[in-house]
Amino acid sequence: MSAIALAPLMSISVMSVTAVAAPIAGVSWGIVAVVAGTLVTAAATWVVRSLLAKRFGWERAHIQWGFALTPATAIGIAAGSGVILVRLGRIFGSPDYVSQTADNVFHLNAVRYVIESGSASSLTLGAAGGGAPSFYPAAWHGIAALIVQTSGSSIPEAVASLNLIIGALVWPLSMWFFCRTLFGGSTVMNVGFGVLVSSFSAFPYLLVDWGVLYPNYLGMAALPAVAGIGLLLCRNGFLSSGQGIMLPWLGLIGLAGISLSHPNSVICLIVILVPYLLSRTLRRSVLTSFAHWTIRRRILKLAASLGLAVAIATAWVVLRPFPFTSFNVTWPPYQSSAQAVGEALFTTHSARGAAWATGVLLIFGLWLALSHRGYRWLAISFLMWTLLLVSVTAWQPSVMRAFLTGGWFDDYKRVAAGLVLVGLPLSLLAFIGFYRIVAKYLGSLRKSSHAWEISASLALIAVPVLLIAQTGAIRDASNAAHSNYSLGPGSPIMSADEFELYKELPEVVHDDGVIAGNPWDGSAWAYFVSGKHVLFPHVLAAMNADKTVIAKSLNTAATNPEVCAAARRLNVEYAINSDELIYLPGNPNNQAYPGLAGLDRAPGFELIAQVGANRLYKLVAC
């Protein structure tokens, strides 16, 4: 079961690292590169194991911490995955629907960019936004492109299938591994896990709604497996026992995967594991042992601890999208500190109503964790997440808030999603605690079989939690997310008519011709649909002097030589104009393209294709 649970994490890691290495080796992104990367990783793993075996012997070089695949495990994971699958299916609506949100303009075009360029490297994917090659976490985009390449599906179909797999397979397996490491493999744990893994609105549902934040979605789904490896590594030591031999290696592979999925996954990992590391370091037995170690061993331990502390502090400072001083570009607070604490305790967000089922469990689980020395670190981690949520939702923008939550773009919805990473285990701890109370009470009422007590106790807890969660907070989250997925007449970014026009582009636009259009009216997506290059592939496209001329003055091409000069340098030969409603009306950014308006009345433009109120023109004035 350990191999099954870690397989998604290892696969994500192999693919994302291979994507970075492939362009360096002169290999295009595709199934050949992935197979080669898998073989290289397997060979490297064999070398590491062989080197360690020289010290420990082959019989001790095998991983000996595998978890058993029991019926309860299979049922628990399958039940939770099934509910998530149904919910995500409801959210996505149809395989050809796309999330009509601003960030998705970049994500869908970036998938096309990977296919067209042959590179899925995180070091260069930033170029998909229309600028120079720059870092952008590309794991999600590379996998989506791989699905298109190997299956022949459309990009929307590939995205829908990938996101279903992330939510209904990667997340349950990864979080199960973490919870199994924490609480053991009892039937109660597995049943509680099956109920709770689908019962938090902030994850996995929020990140396919807000943004959309697909890279964050992938990174957070795989992150708990890395946290589980970290717990096992700390328990077994690095190289001090046979059971700990391969854990550092697997941990490094997994860490690479979540880093290239989204860098703030590493920051999430810090908030989870640092309390655990401190709790182990400050144990009385460890401090007593330290006094009896040799000077050399003390120095090595202190040096290792200092190095780890420096690495953690560096990651916290470096893995953020903007410096501490740029704190005024983020979202303002919307509630008081007390209300923010309430949102954390009742597992809700965004000023929505309390999630009573998981909220009651979390509060009880927090009390249990604080009362149990072995789980206090988990409670401390939750309190740290609560501080982050309070700062990002209740404090005014400042350097301090940027220091605390800048790694999440000072975005309270990303922080709320991260809180589930410890909120779910705490709720599961409470589920187990409630089960013991109910089972003890039922056992005192009558003489009955042990199986009856287990079944009745689990039913009395699991059924109410599942019903309350799924008919309350999760239903509302599903409905809210579903409203963003569409492809119809009134879709806010790309309508069905626009989609049909874009599908005609390969027949009327020659290979080298670049299409200009206001990206806020949907024209940016002409690229992912058709593969034809657009001048502005993102709603926040990188600009230069020539692009600014086109954006502001293209409709004056017949009388303005400066426009034709810029068009020739940029190879702009076509333009898209739409009379449909623009995305986010009133936003000043979507008013920055006056030169793309009124092309039907401007001289020097020839209409060559039209679907509904959407038209493609050829620039003939130049």
What tens digit of pLDDT does each residue of 179-188 get? Answer: 999 999 999 9
Tell me what pLDDT residue 550 has. Answer: 97
Distance, CA of 482 to CA of 480 (rounded, Å): 6
CA–CA separation, 307 vs 291, rounded Å? 21
Alpha helix segments (H runs only) across 395-511:
399-405, 412-445, 450-470, 473-482, 496-508
| Nearest residue to 67 (alpha-carbon basis) of 180, 178, 213, 159 | 180
CB 276 within 8 A of CB 231: yes
Is the per-residue pLDDT at 453 higher than 70? no
Which are the contacts of 96, defined by CB distance < 8 A and separation ≥ 6? 154, 156, 157, 487
3-state secondary structure of 298: helix
Q: What share of the chain in percent tops pLDDT 90?
A: 77
- Calpha distance 524→528 (Å, rounded): 8
Provide the residue count of the chain.
Answer: 622
> Percent of the chain beyond pLDDT 70?
93
Strands 572-578 vs 614-619: parallel, antiparallel or unpaired: antiparallel
pLDDT at 331: 84
Average pLDDT over residues 67-73: 92
What local confidence, expressed as pLDDT, does residue 95 receive? Answer: 95
Q: DSSP assignment of 328-396, as one string?
A: TTSPPP-S-HHHHHHHHHTT--TTPPP-HHHHHHHHHHHHHHHHSGGGHHHHHHHHHHHHHHHHHHHSP
pLDDT of residue 581: 83
179 or 53: which leads in pLDDT:
179
Domain ranges of the chain: 2-480, 496-619
Give pLDDT tens digits for 114-146.
999 999 999 999 999 998 999 999 999 999 999
* Interatomic CA distance for residues 434 and 513, integer angstroms: 66
- In angstroms, the Cα distances linking 269 to 240, 251, 406 are 24, 12, 15
Please state the φ and ψ torsions of residue 175, each to the nearest 5 degrees.
-70, -35
**Could you name the CATH architecture of 496-619?**
3-Layer(aba) Sandwich (3.40)
Two structure tokens written together for 197? 């893994």
pLDDT band at 450 (very low <50, low <70, confident <90, very high): low
Q: Pairing relation of β-strands 605-611 and 614-619?
A: antiparallel
* 132, two tokens: 């120079």
Let me know: does 191 contact 22? Beta carbons within 8 Å: no
295 pLDDT exceeds 90? no
Q: For residue 64, name the pLDDT band (cuts at 50, 70, 90).
A: low
Asked whether 348 and 363 are in contact (CB, 8 A), the reply is no
Tokens of 405: 């939550």
Q: What's the rounded Cα separation, in Å, for the pair 486 and 97?
A: 5
Q: 448: pLDDT confidence band, cut at 50, 70 and 90?
A: low
pLDDT band of 322, cuts 50, 70, 90: confident
pLDDT in the model for residue 53 = 72
Averaged confidence pLDDT in the chain: 91
pLDDT band per the 50, 70, 90 thresholds, residue 286: low
Longest dimension (CA), the chain: 95
Tokens of residue 465, six digits: 């939690």
Question: What pLDDT score was predicted for residue 205?
Answer: 97
- Backbone phi and psi for residue 68, each to the nearest 5 degrees, phi listed first: -75, 145
**What pLDDT digit, counting tens, does each position of 555-594 carry?**
999 999 999 999 999 999 999 999 998 898 888 888 899 9
Q: Answer whether residue 359 shows pLDDT above 90.
A: yes
In this structure, are residues 484 and 101 in contact, taking their beta carbons and an 8 Å threshold?
A: yes
Residue 289's pLDDT is: 63
Task: Please give, one letter per residue, the 3-state secondary structure of 27-69.
Answer: CCCCHHHHHHHHHHHHHHHHHHHHHHHHHHCHHHCCCCCCCCC
Q: Is 585 helix (H, G, I), strand (E, B) or coil?
A: coil
For residue 265, the model assigns a pLDDT of 97
pLDDT of residue 54: 73
Name the pairing type of β-strands 98-99 and 485-486.
Answer: antiparallel
Over range 164-184, report the average pLDDT.
97
Residue type, 593: Y
Nearest residue to 340 (alpha-carbon basis) of 416, 427, 245: 416
Tally the C-alpha atoms within 13 A of residue 139's C-alpha that lie toward its C-beta: 33
Tell me how crowded residue 609 is: count the other CB atoms within 10 A of its CB. 19
pLDDT confidence band for 285 (50 / 70 / 90): low
Higher local confidence (pLDDT), 453 or 184 = 184
Amino acid at 338: A
Residue 335: CB partners within 8 Å, gap ≥ 6? 343, 351, 393, 394
The pLDDT value recorded for residue 59 is 54
Residue 577 is given by DSSP the state E
What is the layout of strands, in order, in the sheet containing 614-619?
514-516, 572-578, 614-619, 605-611
* Predicted pLDDT of residue 61: 46
What is the pLDDT confidence band of residue 460, given thresholds at 50, 70 and 90? confident
pLDDT in tens, 373-425: 899 999 999 999 999 999 999 999 999 999 999 999 999 999 999 999 999 99
Supply the pLDDT for residue 296.
74
Distance CA 200, CA 183 (A): 20
Asked if residue 341 lies in contact with residue 382, where contact means CB atoms within 8 angstroms, the answer is no
Per residue in 215-264, pLDDT tens?
999 999 999 999 999 998 887 665 455 455 678 889 999 999 999 999 99
pLDDT band at 56 (very low <50, low <70, confident <90, very high): low
Give the position of tokens 């395989």.
95
Q: Three-state SS for 335?
A: coil
